[in-house]
A and B are shown apart, each in its own frame.
Chain A
Amino acid sequence: MLTVLLIVLPILGAIVAALSPNNARQVALLSTLAQLCITIYCVLTFSQNSSLMAFDATWIAPLGIHFKVAMDGISLLLVLLTNALLPFIVLSGSALDPIDNRANTRYSLILAMQAALVGVFTAMDGFLFYVFWELALLPIWLICLLWGGENRVRITLKFFIYTLAGSLFMLLGLTYLYLQTPIPHSFDIAALYNVALSSNAQSGIFWAMFIAFAIKIPIFPFHTWQPDTYTTAPTQGTMLLSGIMLKMGVYGLIRWLLPIAPQGVQTWANLVIVLSIIGIIYGAIIALQQRDLKRLAAYSSFSHVGLIAAGVLAMTTQGLQGGVFHMLAHGINVVALFYVIDLLERKTQTRNIDEISGIANNDREFAILFFIIVAGSVALPLTNAFVGEFLLLNSIFIFNPILAAIAGLTIIFGAVYMLRVYRSTMFGELNANTQHVAFVHSPEKWVLYPLVILILVMGIYPKYLMDLAQPAILQLMGAIGQ
C-alpha cells in the first residue's frame, strides 16, 4: 500500500501545483518532502518480508494485466534516490521561477515525472512497467521542450523518438514473453522469469529489450540524443535526466533483462560490454575537449554510466551490488554537479570554462563544497562513487581482466577533465565575469550542503545501503542461475 501512496502522492501534488500559479514551488517542495519522509519510513521499516509495500490489483482482466507494485531492496534504493533528489531538483528552480509565468506547469510536470519514476522502479508487471516507462518520458519531454534552450524543438523531438523507438521494441519483447506464459497469459514478473526460452528466442528478447535500455542509459552507439538534450534542457530537466532517468535503463537491465534472458546476455556479453567500454573511453575523450561546462558534464555522465552498464552486464554479484550502489552515488553526484554548473552560469552568465576563473578567491566555502563534489565525480576513496566504481571494475575484471584495465581508464580520464575544470574555474585570477561572484549568503548553498554530506557519508559508510539491497541481489542472482 505504501508503494501506491508513493505513486499517488506526487500525482496529487502535481494537480495541486498546476492549480496554484503563485506558489507552485512551495507546493512542490512540500509534496516532495512528504514523499521523502514516507520513503525514509519505508527504508527504516524495511525487511524482505514486508508485505506493507506490496500491492496487487487486477487492472485489465481479459489480458491478465495487473497493477502490481512492490519494493525489494533494489527498488527501494532507487525509489530512495528518486525521492531524495526531487526536493533538491525542486529547490534548484528558485532562480528560474520569478521570470517564468508557467512555473506551475513546470512543477506539475516534475511531480508527474516523479510519480512515473517511482512507478518504473516498483512495477512488478511487465505491462505496467512499460506504461510507467512511457509516462516518465512525456513530462521530461515537455520540460525540455517548453523551457529548453537553442534548437529545442529538433533536439527534443529526436530525444522523444529515439527513446520511444527503443521502448516500443521492448514492448514487443515483453508481449512475446507474455504469449509464452502458460494460459491464461500473465505479465506478472515471476511468470515472465519462468518462461523457458530457446537460445534464439533469448537472443531476440535480449536485443528487443537491450536496445530500449541502451538508449535510455545511453550506451554507445545509442547515445547521440544525449549530449544535445542535456545541454538544451533547463537545469531541472538535466538533473532529472541524468540523475534519475538514465537509472531507468540500468534498473531495466537488472530487473528485467538479466533474469529473463540470462543466456541471451551471456551470448552477447562480449559485444555489449565492449560497446559500453567504448562509450566510457569515447565519452571521456570528448569530455576532455569540451569548453562548455554543461556539455562536459553530459559527456562525463555518459562515460560513467558506461561503466555501470558494463559492470552489470558482466552478471556477477559484485557487478549488481556495485551497479545498484553506483546508481545512487552517480545520481547524487551528477545532480550536485549540474547544480554547481547552473549556479556558475547564473552568476557569471557563461558556461565556458575559459571565461570563469578565480572563484576560490572570493568564496572559499563554495570552493570546498565544489571540491568534494568533484572528488565524488572522480571516485576518490571515501566518496560515494569510489565504492560503486570499485565493485563495478571488480565485476568487469572477473569477466575479462583486459577489459577491466581499459575501463579503469575512466577514473584517470575523469580525474583529468574534472580537476582541470576545478583548477580553471576556482583558481587563478578573478576576471570580469567572476569579479563579483560570491555565494556566501546565498540560500543556494543550503542545497549544496546536504548533497555534499551525502557524498561523504555514503562513501565512508556504504554498508547500510548495501545491506538493504543485498538479499534482493542474491535472489536475483539465483533467478539468473549463476
Chain B
Amino acid sequence: MKALISLSALAILSLAGEIFGFKRQTNVLLIIGLLVTLVLNFMDWNTNISYFSNMMQYDNFSVAFTGAILLCGLAVVLLSPHFFKVVETSESESYAQLLFLMAGGLLMVSFSNLSMFFIGIELLSIASYILAGTDKRNLYSNEAALKYFLMGAFWSSFLLMGIALVYAAAGSFDLATIAAYSTKGNLSGYFYLGTFFITLALAFKVSAAPFHFWAPDVYDGSPTIVTLSMSTIVKIAAFGAAARLFSYALYPAMPSMSKIWWILTALTLLVGSLGALQQTSFKRLLAYSGVANAGYLLLGLIAANNNANNALLFYLIAYSVATISAFAVLLLLSYKYDDENGEHFKGLATTSPWLAAAVTVSMLSLAGIPPTAGFFGKYYLFTQAIAAGHTSLVVVAILSSIVSIVYYFRIIINMYIPDENSLPTALELPFVYKIVLIITTITSLALGIYPSVLANIL
C-alpha cells in the first residue's frame, strides 16, 4: 500500500518537474524514489492487510509481484535518459505515464475486488496506450498507439461484461465471496460465460494467440524503451492479475474450460515461436518471443494453485531479466544504427566480448538452456502443468522450445561468427547500461544455479 502511494507521488513529482523546471533531475529523483518504494514494498512482507473496505488485499503474492514490477520499472528508468537523447519525446510525461502504468500494475496484482481489478487494468492500459504513441513524429508509433487503443478498448468491454456476468451469478465483486460461491457447486451458466469473457480479455492483454495480432505491430512501433516496459511490466501485471483471479476465485471453472485453455496455450506457443523464426528485426523477434513466452506462462495459469503461481512468478522474473538484457543491447544498437536488424550483432564478440557474453546469457535464458534462470523457470512451469494433467500441452511447449533455439541461437552465432568483410566498430557502453547488464546477467545465472531463493516464496 505504501508502495502505491509512493508510486503515485513519484508520478506527480515527475509531472511537477516539467512545470517547476527540475526536469534534468527527474531521472535521479525517480531512481531514488523507486528504490525507496522497493523498500516500502518489502516492508509489507507477511503483513497481509486489506485496504479500502476490502477492495485490496496486500498479501505476499502482491508484495512479490509488485517487487518484480518495481525492479523492471527501475531498469526502464535507468535505461531511459540515453534513449530520450536520441528520440525526441517529452521526457517527464513519459516518466509520469510509466509510473501510472506501474501503479495500475500494482493494483492488478493486489486487488481483492473485481472493480479494483478493472480500475487497475484500465490505469495500466491507458498509460500504455499513451506511451506507445510518445514518439509523436513517427508514423509507426502513432499506428501502434491507435491500434493498441482500439483493440484494448474493444477487449475491455468484454472484460467488463465478464465481470458483470460473474456478479450476476455470485452476487458480489469480492473475490472471497465469489470463491465461496463457486466452490459450492451447481454454478449458473452466467458464471461460466463471465469467466469465459474474462479469459478472452486477459488473453488479449497477455497477447495470447489468436488475440496476439496487435502485439508484434505495437511492440515494434512503440519507442523501444516503451516496448521494454510493455514486455516486462505489463506482462508481469497481466499474468499476476490472471493468476490472482483464477487461483483466488475462478478456479472451479477451470476444468470445464480446459479445452479453451489448451487451444489458447498451444496456439500461442506455436504462433509465437514460428512467427519469431521469420523475423530479421531483433525488436520484432523479441515481440514474437514475448508471444511465445506468454504461451509458457499460460501453462502456469491452468493449474491455478499456489505452486503454479510461484512457478509463474519465477518465470516472469527470469523472462523479464533476460528481456531487460536483450533490450539494453537493442537500445545500444539502435543508437548507432537506424534500424533494429539482427544482422548488427555480427562480430559483436570480437569488438565487445563482454557485451556479447551478456547477450549470450540472455539468449540462453530465453531459450531455456541450463544453467540459466530461464531453464529452471520453464522446467518449473512444465512440472506444474504435468502435475495438473496437461502433459500434451507440455509436449507442444517442448516443440516450441526446440523451434525457439533456432532464432535465439542465430543471434549468438551471429555474434561469434563475424562477417569477414566488415567488422563492426565497438559499441559505446554507457555506465548505467554496464551496471544494468552486469546485474541482469548475474541474476540470470544466479537464479539458474540456485533457484531455491525464489522457488518457494509464495
Q: Is the CB of B394 within 8 A of A172?
A: yes
Of the listed residues A130, A152, A172, the one surrounded by the most CB atoms of chain B closer than 10 A to its CB is A172
Q: Which of B39-47, B91-99, B397-405 contacts A (4 or more CB under 8 A)?
A: B397-405
Using an 8 Å CB-CB cutoff, how does the interface string of B383-420 with A read, 1 for contact, 0 for none? Answer: 10011000100110010011001100100010011000
Using known A-B contacts A59-B452, A134-B370, A135-B371, determine if residue A145 contacts B416 with beta carbons closer than 8 Å: yes
Of A138, A145, A153, A171, which contacts B379 at CB under 8 A?
A171
User: Is B456 engaged at the interface, CB distance under 8 Å to the other chain?
Assistant: yes
Instruction: Provide the main secondary structure of the chain A interface.
Output: helix
Expressed in whole angstroms, the minimum distance between the Cβ of A182 and any Cβ of chain B is 14
Q: Is the CB of B451 within 8 A of A60?
A: yes
Using known A-B contacts A131-B371, A161-B402, determine if residue A63 contacts B455 with beta carbons closer than 8 Å: yes
User: Is A62 engaged at the interface, CB distance under 8 Å to the other chain?
Assistant: yes
Q: Which of A37-45, A173-181, A339-347, A429-437 contacts B (4 or more CB under 8 A)?
A: A173-181
User: Is A33 engaged at the interface, CB distance under 8 Å to the other chain?
Assistant: no
A residues less than 8 Å from B376 (CB atoms):
60
Q: Which of A162-170, A314-322, A440-448 contacts B (4 or more CB under 8 A)?
A: A162-170
Of B370, B383, B387, B409, which contacts A131 at CB under 8 A?
B370
Q: Is the CB of A175 within 8 A of B382?
A: yes
A residues less than 8 Å from B387 (CB atoms):
179
Q: Is the CB of B452 within 8 A of A172?
A: no
Q: Is the CB of A135 within 8 A of B402?
A: no
Give the complex CA separation of A60 and B406 in angstroms. Answer: 30
Nearest B residue to A138 by beta-carbon distance?
B369
Interface residues of B in 93-152 (CB under 8 A from A): none
- Interface size class, chain B: 20 to 34
Give the complex CA separation of A350 and B450 in angstroms. Answer: 48
Q: Is the CB of A168 within 8 A of B406?
A: no
Q: Is the CB of B383 within 8 A of A165?
A: no
Instruction: Provide the main secondary structure of the chain B interface.
Output: helix
Give the complex CA separation of A164 and B406 in angstroms. Answer: 11
Of A61, A165, A171, A175, which contacts B402 at CB under 8 A?
A165
Nearest B residue to A148 by beta-carbon distance?
B417
Q: Is the CB of B452 within 8 A of A61?
A: yes
Give the complex CA separation of A127 and B376 in angstroms. Answer: 10
Expressed in whole angstroms, the minimum distance between the Cβ of B180 and any Cβ of chain A is 28
Q: Is the CB of A62 within 8 A of B455?
A: yes
Of B369, B379, B391, B416, which contacts A146 at CB under 8 A?
B416
User: Is A411 engaged at the interface, CB distance under 8 Å to the other chain?
Assistant: no
Q: Is the CB of A160 within 8 A of B417?
A: no
Give the complex CA separation of A165 and B402 in angstroms. Answer: 6
Nearest A residue to B410 by beta-carbon distance?
A157
Q: Is the CB of A169 within 8 A of B398?
A: yes
Of A130, A134, A152, A157, which contacts B406 at CB under 8 A?
A157
A residues less than 8 Å from B364 (CB atoms):
138
B residues less than 8 Å from A145 (CB atoms):
413, 416-417
Of B391, B402, B409, B451, which contacts A168 at CB under 8 A?
B402
Nearest B residue to A137 by beta-carbon distance?
B369
Q: Is the CB of B455 within 8 A of A153?
A: no
Nearest B residue to A169 by beta-carbon distance?
B398
A residues less than 8 Å from B383 (CB atoms):
63, 175, 178-179
Give the complex CA separation of A176 and B409 in angstroms. Answer: 28
A residues less than 8 Å from B398 (CB atoms):
165, 168-169, 172
Using an 8 Å CB-CB cutoff, how does the interface string of A45-85 with B read, 1 for contact, 0 for none? Answer: 00000000000000111110000000000000000000000
A residues less than 8 Å from B413 (CB atoms):
145, 153, 157
Selected A-B contacts with CB under 8 Å, 21 pairs: A59-B450, A61-B456, A63-B380, A134-B370, A135-B370, A135-B371, A138-B364, A145-B417, A152-B417, A157-B405, A157-B406, A164-B369, A168-B402, A169-B398, A171-B382, A172-B382, A172-B391, A172-B398, A175-B386, A176-B391, A178-B383
B residues with a Cβ closer than 8 A to A are 310, 364, 369-371, 375-376, 379-380, 382-383, 386-387, 391, 394-395, 398, 401-402, 405-406, 409, 413, 416-417, 450-452, 455-456
A residues with a Cβ closer than 8 A to B are 59-63, 127, 130-131, 134-135, 138, 142, 145-146, 152-153, 157, 160-161, 164-165, 168-169, 171-172, 175-176, 178-179
